[in-house]
């Protein structure tokens, strides 16, 4: 970690410490009472009767509750210690990854945009699987990048494990994992049909099937519930609007590069990378 990275991380830590003391929200209480409190960890996996059960996160929370309980600790503030650790890990991994991909200035702006955003305030300390999803998908991005750069199969394995953790937390994370290969589309379009690119690109689907095959009936039932936003336009507005305001400085700084890229008449692979930002429209 560079010294410049510690300031936004320290500010994020102050925010998170303040949010430790907020009361449990409905979904958090539901997670704690209906799933974490089951008689055995195995039941957490098999009781996937509603999508509110973010299975991998719930299992981790169960372990955290048992660990802190053995130390004579408990309660909402102590329970939020797990998302505090996960958020710290997600911010650290993101800072390192963004610096390697985009440089110091881009990483600094992205860190500030993230920690000052409304979604970060809502989800960073929530007893839900959203920050774990952010962490695992960022790890998947880093592993895929190393795989395409080196071709070493261990990075392909790391990518699979990160994808398995992501879909094991929330199955709809598959949509975000679909975006990972788009970010690293080969400059030569025909290279997408080579094993080096196709193999890891298909691994998230394999991970989803492996994790949910024993409880496929429950997964299909949850998918058929149709819960969520009934107004697609409002949902899209919330998804984009939640980040747009915080990312305005980043977008403004990216304008010169976008103009340069446009003048270079980008090929379809570069347009494919830009398509990542349109994926929420499909959900």
pLDDT at 208 over 90: yes
Q: What is the pLDDT of residues 210-225, one digit of tens each?
A: 999 999 999 998 888 7
How far apart (Å, rounded) are the C-alpha atoms in residues 36 and 41?
8
Residues comprising the chain, all counted: 283
Q: What is the pLDDT of residues 111-123, one digit of tens each?
A: 888 888 888 888 8
Q: Which residues are CB-contacts of 28 (< 8 A; sequence separation ≥ 6)?
A: 126, 127, 128
Task: Residue 172: name the closest of 30, 27, 47, 54 by CA.
Answer: 54
pLDDT at 170 over 90: yes
The pLDDT > 90 percentage for the chain reads 34
pLDDT at 131 over 80: yes
Burial of 98-108, coded b for 16+ CB within 10 Å and e otherwise, reads: bbeeeeeebbb
Chain CA centroid to CA 43, Å? 25
Contact 76, 125 (CB under 8 A): no
Contact 23, 76 (CB under 8 A): yes
How far apart (Å, rounded) are the C-alpha atoms in residues 235 and 230?
8
Residue 135 confidence class, pLDDT cut points 50, 70, 90: very high
Q: Give the mean model confidence (pLDDT) for residues 180-186.
A: 79
How confident is the prediction for the chain on average, in pLDDT? 84
Residue 64 confidence class, pLDDT cut points 50, 70, 90: very high
DSSP the chain: --HHHHHHHHHHHHHHHHHTTSPP-HHHHHIIIIIITSSSHHHHHH--SSTT--HHHHHHHHHHHHHHHHTT--SHHHHTHHHHHHHHHHHHHHHHHHHHHH-HHHHHHHHHHHHTSHHHHHHTT-SSSHHHHHHHHHHHHHHHHHHHHH--HHHHHHHHHHHHHHHHH-TTHHHHHHHHHHHT--SSGGGGGSHHHHHHHHHHHHHHHHHHGGGHHHHHHHHHT--S-S-HHHHHHHHHHHHHHHHHHHHHHHHHHHHHHHHT---HHHHHHHGGGGGGGG-
Note the pLDDT of residue 21.
85
Q: Which residues are CB-contacts of 138 (< 8 A; sequence separation ≥ 6)?
A: 90, 93, 94, 97
Note the pLDDT of residue 106.
81
How far apart (Å, rounded) are the C-alpha atoms in residues 129 and 132?
5
């Amino acid at each position: 970690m560079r010294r410049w990275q510690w300031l936004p991380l320290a500010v994020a830590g102050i925010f998170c410490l303040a949010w430790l003391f907020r009361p449990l929200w409905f979904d958090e209480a539901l997670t704690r009472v209906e799933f974490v409190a089951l008689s055995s960890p195995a039941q957490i996996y098999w009781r996937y009767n509603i999508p509110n059960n973010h299975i991998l996160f719930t299992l981790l929370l169960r372990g955290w509750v048992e660990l802190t309980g053995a130390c004579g600790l408990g309660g909402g503030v102590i329970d939020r210690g797990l998302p505090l650790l996960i958020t710290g890990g997600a911010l650290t991994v993101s800072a390192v990854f963004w610096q390697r991909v985009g440089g110091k200035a881009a990483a600094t702006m992205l860190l500030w945009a993230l920690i000052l955003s409304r979604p970060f305030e809502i989800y960073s300390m929530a007893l839900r699987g959203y920050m774990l999803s952010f962490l695992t998908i960022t790890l998947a991005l880093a592993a895929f990048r190393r795989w395409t750069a080196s071709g070493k199969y261990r990075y392909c394995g790391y990518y699979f494990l990160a994808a398995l953790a992501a879909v094991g937390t929330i199955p709809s994370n598959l949509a975000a994992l679909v975006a990972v290969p788009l970010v690293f589309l080969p400059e030569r379009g025909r290279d997408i049909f080579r094993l080096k690119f196709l193999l890891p690109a298909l691994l998230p689907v394999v991970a989803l099937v492996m994790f949910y095959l024993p409880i496929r009936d429950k997964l299909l039932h949850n998918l058929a519930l149709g819960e969520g936003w009934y107004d697609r336009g409002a949902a899209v507005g919330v998804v984009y609007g939640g980040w747009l305001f915080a990312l305005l400085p980043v977008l403004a700084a990216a304008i010169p590069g976008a103009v340069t890229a446009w003048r270079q008449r980008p090929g379809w692979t570069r347009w494919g990378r830009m398509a990542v930002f349109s994926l929420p429209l499909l959900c």
